[in-house]
């Protein structure tokens, strides 16, 4: 079983839709949670970084962490065609230093 | 302020040859990480280095792979006697303090073994 599970999609939505992306994990030691965006042929770019449980909002993006359910989410409001990319969740435990465990990534297309 | 620089962007090697991938971290960053992304898979951690030290190599294959981050110059990921299964995108990231949320990734080197 993978430590981090993420539906690879692909996910296709119309412009302006609310997008929900999710990951589940099995390692209860994970305390740091991140969402990265990766455009084709580019490196991952950090979107959101949260520690432990709770919500964090940044512009059109909201990250949620539910440690009791081992479930994290990224919501994108008013989605734009420029949001079309692969979204990767990543996690880290205190004992693992800064080593990240990534999900497989969800490919998102926002259609104009 | 240049980002994390990786070169070459694309590398083609025949089976049995050596591949050398270079990574220059962002200015002021002394922590370097290498990740590998196989087709249709997420990024997998390989190694974490600071200047002249390997901090965590738990993700490195036991044979043929090595990494270094010398006092001067870029970090190097070296793959000896490459095989087709080594074909992947290799990403380098750097951070100033070693915290998990402080990474900046480069654009990667795409290795193709023919």
Interface touch B103/A46, C-beta < 8 Å: yes
Average pLDDT, chain A: 93
Does B43 reach chain A within 8 Å, measured CB to CB?
A: yes
Query: How far is Cα B81 from Cα B77, in angstroms, rounded to an integer?
Result: 13
Q: Which of B48, B106, B108 sits opposite A97 (nearest CB)?
A: B48
Handedness of CA B69, B71, B74, B78 (dihedral sign): negative
Cβ atoms B91, B37 nearer than 8 A: yes
Percent share of chain A, pLDDT over 70: 98
A88 to chain B: which residues are within 8 Å by CB?
42-43
What span, in angstroms and rounded, lies between the C-alpha atoms of A15 and A3? Answer: 33
What pLDDT was estimated at residue A104?
A: 93
Instruction: Select from B43, B56, B95 the Cβ nearest to the Cβ of A102.
Output: B43
pLDDT means per 10 residues, chain B with 114 residues, are: 90 98 93 91 92 93 96 96 96 85 91 97
pLDDT of residue B40: 74
Position B101 scores a pLDDT of 75
Residue A28: DSSP 8-state? T
Q: Which residues of B touch A41 (CB under 8 A)?
A: 107-108
Q: How far apart are CA A81 and CA A16, in angstroms?
A: 9
pLDDT at res. A87: 97
For residue A22, give how far its alpha carbon lies from the nearest alpha carbon of chain B (Å): 15
Q: What is the pLDDT at residue A7?
A: 86
**Cα-Cα-Cα-Cα dihedral sign, residues B85, A39, A88, A1:** negative
Residues of chain A found within 8 Å of residue B102, distances taken between Cβ atoms = 98
Q: Which residue of A has its CA nearest to B96?
A: A98
Specify the pLDDT at position A90: 95
Give B33's contacts in chain A (Cβ within 8 Å): 98-99
pLDDT tens across A38-58, in order?
A: 999 899 999 999 988 889 999
Looking at residue B1, its pLDDT comes to 55
Name the one residue in this structure whose structure tokens are 């479930």: A71
User: B100 — contact with chain A (CB < 8 Å)?
Assistant: yes
All residues of chain B having their beta carbon less than 8 Å from the beta carbon of residue A8 are 40
In degrees and rounded to multiples of 5, residue A83 shows phi and psi of -80, -10
pLDDT at residue B100 in the model: 72
Substitution target in A98, A102, A104 with the highest count of B β-carbons within 10 Å is A98
Nearest C-alpha of chain A: how many angstroms from B52? 18
Q: Above 90 in pLDDT, residue A33?
A: yes
Q: How far apart are CA A3 and CA B23, in angstroms?
A: 28
């Amino acid at each position: 079983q993978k430590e981090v599970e993420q539906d690879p999609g692909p996910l296709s939505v119309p412009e302006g839709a609310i997008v929900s992306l999710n990951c589940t994990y099995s390692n209860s030691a994970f305390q740091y949670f991140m969402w990265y965006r990766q455009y084709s042929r580019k490196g991952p770019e950090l979107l959101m970084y949260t520690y432990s449980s709770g919500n964090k909002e940044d512009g059109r993006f909201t990250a949620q962490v539910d440690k009791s359910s081992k479930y994290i989410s990224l919501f994108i409001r008013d989605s734009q065609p420029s949001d079309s990319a692969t979204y990767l969740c990543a996690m880290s435990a205190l004992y693992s230093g800064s080593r990240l465990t990534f999900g497989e990534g969800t490919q998102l297309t926002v259609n104009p | 302020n240049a980002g994390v620089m990786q070169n070459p962007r694309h590398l083609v090697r025949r089976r049995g040859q050596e591949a050398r991938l270079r990574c220059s971290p962002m200015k002021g960053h002394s922590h370097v990480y290498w990740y590998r992304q196989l087709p249709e898979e997420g990024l997998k951690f390989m190694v974490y280095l600071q200047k002249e030290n390997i901090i965590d190599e738990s993700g490195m294959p036991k044979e043929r792979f090595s990494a270094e981050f010398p006092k001067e110059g870029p970090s190097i990921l070296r793959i000896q006697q490459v095989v087709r299964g080594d074909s992947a995108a290799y990403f380098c990231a750097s951070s100033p303090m070693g915290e998990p949320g402080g990474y900046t990734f480069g654009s990667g080197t795409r290795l193709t073994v023919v």
